[in-house]
Structure 1
Amino acid sequence: MKLFDVLVAFASLSLLLLLGIALRKRLRWLRQLGIPEALVAGLLGLLVGPFGPWSIFPERVYAVWAQTPGVLISLVFATLFLGQRLPSPQELWRRAAGQTAFGMTLGFGQYLVGGVLVLAVLQPLFGTNPLMACLIEVGFEGGHGTAAGMGPTFRDLGLASGEALGLAMATVGVLAAVLIGSTLVVIGRSRQWLGQREARLAGAEAELSDPFSAENRLLMESASEKNQGEGITSESLTIDALTVNLALAGAAVGLGVLLKHGITQLGGELLEAIPVFPLAMIGGLLVQLTLQWRRQSQLASPLVQASLGSLAMDVLITAAMASLNLPLLEDNWLPFSLLALAGLAWNVAVFLLLGPRVFPDHWFERAIADFGQGTGVTATGLLLLRMADPSGRSRAMEGFSFKQLVFEPFLGGGLVTALAPIALVSWGLPLFSAVALALTAGSILFGLSLGRSR
């Protein structure tokens, strides 16, 4: 692979992103559906990608596109903790417990639904690979970035189409989360499940406060920077702040690589399938703790780290969707469709049946945010929350935000997501499904106990 091919690959991805931004600005229905610019760019890339109708680039360029997601997902996760000022464990848990229990029920239940469906129906009828039981959680809770990052793990364990199926599941999740979530908000208004004053303002506010747009993401990141204190000042260092923060993120990724090397040396061949990105997240936490210990926390800027993560995620999604292996989807379209429908049914059932019992106040607003994230992406949850509660009276945003610090290191792309396929291969699908059942039941009981105690 030549350096020139890498330059052409990233220049073409940049052009696709610019076209995606322009197209989303021009077409209002794309904004109303809540489709992010990167996904629009990726879908455009499908048309000129290796399996599209107008394949215009050399194979070497497409090879760079295919390898890009696995590299950038580590950078995305490395930035999660850098620059963050964590509250005390007691305060964090007090604010995030209910949302965490609800999210755990969604996530572990997606493994349960996938495991039971594959074990009882798909494997006997179609000979489906057992690893497809992980696709619902990877696509819905994890999203496009996680699906792309898990591609090498699926391939190493015997499911060559895992990345393509995961990306397709994530795309279905984003679209379904907006459409089904918006319908639930309309039903919630008619049933008076949410504040009527907020409901009357929801349409205009949701259009003006679109968390998917690049502009509003930057504004939110800027607000986060102001709330968390000043970053690097011009007097503190002669080196540029972006360079410092990129170096810190690179150090976090490097620690993740070292952690993987140590794990594979101790654990044998099966653990070689562990991806680097959850370990890069641990590396980021270690770097942040080191900065706090040395009283150099100002070196890690929340704004710059968030921008680095957003940049990596946008390029990742564009490259992953543009290089999507469509022929692999054709071979598994029926099992994939059944898994997607079962996952959506589970998420809606948890929202309607468990939400009112876990959250003692403003249950709809709190549950709809987690439904959006657990079906689509975090920004989908924010979009649905703003539709349901545009003025922020429920304070659901606070619990939803704190929940990410507790939840994301494990599910939705964290350690559990990374280790689940390995556990499935090691234990077998029946035991894996039984463990998923136990974890789901435990999460439900935990959430119900929190609801009663409050």
Structure 2
Amino acid sequence: MAIQFGTYYTLILAAVVLLVGKFMVQRIRWLREFNIPEPVAGGLVAALVSWGLNATTGVQPSFDTGLQTAFMLVFFSSIGLSANFAKLREGGIGLVVFLVVVVVFIVVQNSVGVALASALGLDPLIGLIAGSITLVGGHGTAGAWGQVLEDQHGIRGAVTLGIACATFGLVIGGLIGGPLAKWLIQRNDLHGPQGSGGEGDALEAGAQNFEFPHKTRRITADAVIETMALFAGCLAFAEFMTHAMAGTAVQLPTFVWALGGGVLIRNALDYVFKFEVFDRAIDVFGNAGLSIYLAIALLSLKLWELAGLAGPLVIILAAQAIVMAAYAGFVTFRVMGRNYDAAVLCAGHCGFGMGATPTAVANMQAITNQYGASHKAFLIVPMVGAFFIDLVNAVAIQVFIKMFG
């Protein structure tokens, strides 16, 4: 028996999930020590409750996915609206180096997936589904490429399989990033900048968007209205471009167009119209969108579907989690400088390497709330994880499909 929760009830339950997660992290010591993000903690409890209901009564709760998509687009729009060219220049060589590290990892991730699938007697393309299609790509890429693999390559159930793998990655990415970064920080005796982190209420000068979501950001009603108009512009641009470019060589997921629209609008306002954008309001909207998106995503997690995955696929996904943690700890950390910023970048890399950019940001927030600011990480990860990586991943997937399809 299916129970459908409408828009309002979904939003109410998402807020409850976030409050439960916050309560758990405040009261349960090991959640704080391992830097588990609040939406992940609360979301897993909600998923377990849904699983219990399904196991005992056969009820299958479902939630408004349109609301989840809307808040995801708000989050990505906020990244674009925060990315003026001056900030991109601040990323400098570090942004390029991190992008190269991530590109190499995509090749590693797909190679592991294809090799294990072949060794376990599965179609190599299933290894791609349990590779960068779903883990780096997330739910949107899983749905798009899953349909291609069903229609053109005969992989039955590829879309369902992809959504399940993407959901697994979203959870695991949120669970391994914080503990790995904590281990790197303690093992190498690293320290964040003095006077930052969870202490105090006011937001420090120079903080990047998404840093310290619990700190005070003073905004006005006029700023809120202006910011809502900016977000509406990003979403309108994303909707138009998604339909206009459908079926062309530059077809991209809607969230990429939302981010790109934000970049265009922000820099046009900065450099053409000389209009001062209110970053603090964008930050509030972005953090709220991030939290609610993750809450609804995990609230919608159907553990009974994951439990039904074939044994070989579970082996592949478990191996991918181990490879992700090892690569971040031994490659990403070393290449990015073996310092505190590098440790925070590792938390972010685990987030979008296994799940999605919102998970990456949540991982980094959990670390910086405890150990201190990392402006470099919050400058680099959202742009690489939300924009550049989707373009690179699309090319990598096409290459692997041509090789093994």
Same fold (TM over 0.5): yes
Aligned pair 1:415/2:387, yes or no? Answer: no
Residue in structure 2 matched with residue 311 of structure 1 by the alignment: 288
Match of 2:8, as an amino acid? Answer: L
Q: CA deviation digits over 1:324-380, x for unaligned, max 9?
A: 232332223542333332453355246435754x45xx5244542332221132443
1:330-369 counterparts in 2 under 5 A? 330-345=308-323, 347-349=325-327, 351-352=329-330, 356=334, 358=335, 362-369=337-344
Decide whether aligned partners of structure 1 residues 137 and 408 sit closer, same or farther in structure 2, where only a CA change above 3 A counts.
same
Q: Is the 8 A contact 1:260 1:279 kept in 2?
A: yes
| Distance in structure 2 (CA, Å) of the matches to 1:19 and 1:374 | 26
1:106-121 counterparts in 2 under 5 A? 106-118=105-117, 120-121=118-119
Aligned pair 1:371/2:346, yes or no? Answer: yes
Aligned pair 1:429/2:401, yes or no? Answer: yes
Please report how far the alpha carbon of residue 281 of structure 1 lies from its aligned counterpart in structure 2 after TM superposition: 0.8
Q: TM-score, normalised by structure 1?
A: 0.68
SS in 1 for 2:246: helix
| Distance in structure 2 (CA, Å) of the matches to 1:183 and 1:90 | 31
Q: CA deviation digits over 1:400-451, x for unaligned, max 9?
A: 3443365235455x3334x36xx74x55536379xxxxxxxxxxxxxxxxxx
Residue in structure 2 matched with residue 147 of structure 1 by the alignment: 138
Aligned pair 1:33/2:34, yes or no? Answer: yes
Match of 1:303, as an amino acid? Answer: R
| Distance in structure 2 (CA, Å) of the matches to 1:90 and 1:178 | 28
SS in 1 for 2:6: helix
| Distance in structure 2 (CA, Å) of the matches to 1:428 and 1:243 | 46
Residue in structure 1 matched with residue 354 of structure 2 by the alignment: none
| Distance in structure 2 (CA, Å) of the matches to 1:98 and 1:151 | 27
| Distance in structure 1 (CA, Å) of the matches to 2:134 and 2:81 | 25
Decide whether aligned partners of structure 1 residues 353 and 290 sit closer, same or farther in structure 2, where only a CA change above 3 A counts.
closer
Residue in structure 2 matched with residue 438 of structure 1 by the alignment: none
Residue in structure 1 matched with residue 356 of structure 2 by the alignment: none
Structure 2 counterpart of 1:252, from 234, 239, 263: 234
Residue in structure 1 matched with residue 154 of structure 2 by the alignment: none
1:25-424 counterparts in 2 under 5 A? 25-49=26-50, 52-53=53-54, 62-64=62-64, 66-87=65-86, 92-118=91-117, 120-122=118-120, 125-127=121-123, 130=125, 132-133=127-128, 135-137=130-132, 142=136, 147-157=138-148, 158-189=158-189, 198=191, 209=197, 219=203, 223-224=207-208, 240-264=222-246, 266-267=248-249, 271=251, 274-298=252-276, 300-329=277-306, 330-345=308-323, 347-349=325-327, 351-352=329-330, 356=334, 358=335, 362-376=337-351, 377-381=360-364, 397-404=374-381, 407-411=384-388, 414-417=390-393, 419=394, 424=397
Q: Is the 8 A contact 1:177 1:380 kept in 2?
A: yes
SS in 1 for 2:17: helix
Match of 1:161, as an amino acid? Answer: L
Q: Is the 8 A contact 2:80 2:261 kept in 1?
A: no
The structure that has the greater radius of gyration is 1
| Distance in structure 2 (CA, Å) of the matches to 1:176 and 1:159 | 26
Q: Is the 8 A contact 2:208 2:375 kept in 1?
A: no
Match of 1:244, as an amino acid? Answer: E
Q: CA deviation digits over 1:384-406, x for unaligned, max 9?
A: 6798xx578xxxx4543443365
Please report how far the alpha carbon of residue 155 of structure 1 lies from its aligned counterpart in structure 2 after TM superposition: 4.9
| Distance in structure 2 (CA, Å) of the matches to 1:88 and 1:30 | 33
CA RMSD of aligned residues (A): 4.2
| Distance in structure 2 (CA, Å) of the matches to 1:93 and 1:355 | 18
Q: Is the 8 A contact 2:50 2:302 kept in 1?
A: no
Please report how far the alpha carbon of residue 244 of structure 1 lies from its aligned counterpart in structure 2 after TM superposition: 1.8
Please report how far the alpha carbon of residue 248 of structure 1 lies from its aligned counterpart in structure 2 after TM superposition: 0.9
| Distance in structure 2 (CA, Å) of the matches to 1:249 and 1:131 | 37
Decide whether aligned partners of structure 1 residues 161 and 220 sit closer, same or farther in structure 2, where only a CA change above 3 A counts.
farther
Match of 2:172, as an amino acid? Answer: V
Match of 1:110, as an amino acid? Answer: Q
Q: Is the 8 A contact 1:97 1:403 kept in 2?
A: no
Q: Is the 8 A contact 2:72 2:289 kept in 1?
A: yes
Please report how far the alpha carbon of residue 252 of structure 1 lies from its aligned counterpart in structure 2 after TM superposition: 0.7
Match of 1:317, as an amino acid? Answer: L
Decide whether aligned partners of structure 1 residues 282 and 51 sit closer, same or farther in structure 2, where only a CA change above 3 A counts.
farther
Residue in structure 1 matched with residue 151 of structure 2 by the alignment: none
Decide whether aligned partners of structure 1 residues 429 and 325 sit closer, same or farther in structure 2, where only a CA change above 3 A counts.
same
Residue in structure 2 matched with residue 449 of structure 1 by the alignment: none
Match of 2:293, as an amino acid? Answer: L
SS in 2 for 1:79: helix
SS in 1 for 2:160: coil
| Distance in structure 2 (CA, Å) of the matches to 1:55 and 1:245 | 46
SS in 1 for 2:41: helix
| Distance in structure 2 (CA, Å) of the matches to 1:90 and 1:221 | 19
Decide whether aligned partners of structure 1 residues 304 and 56 sit closer, same or farther in structure 2, where only a CA change above 3 A counts.
farther
What is the identity percentage for the equivalent residue pairs of Structure 1 and Structure 2? 16
| Distance in structure 1 (CA, Å) of the matches to 2:377 and 2:112 | 25
Match of 2:316, as an amino acid? Answer: L
SS in 2 for 1:416: helix
Q: CA deviation digits over 1:149-190, x for unaligned, max 9?
A: 44532553332132232121222222223334433444435x
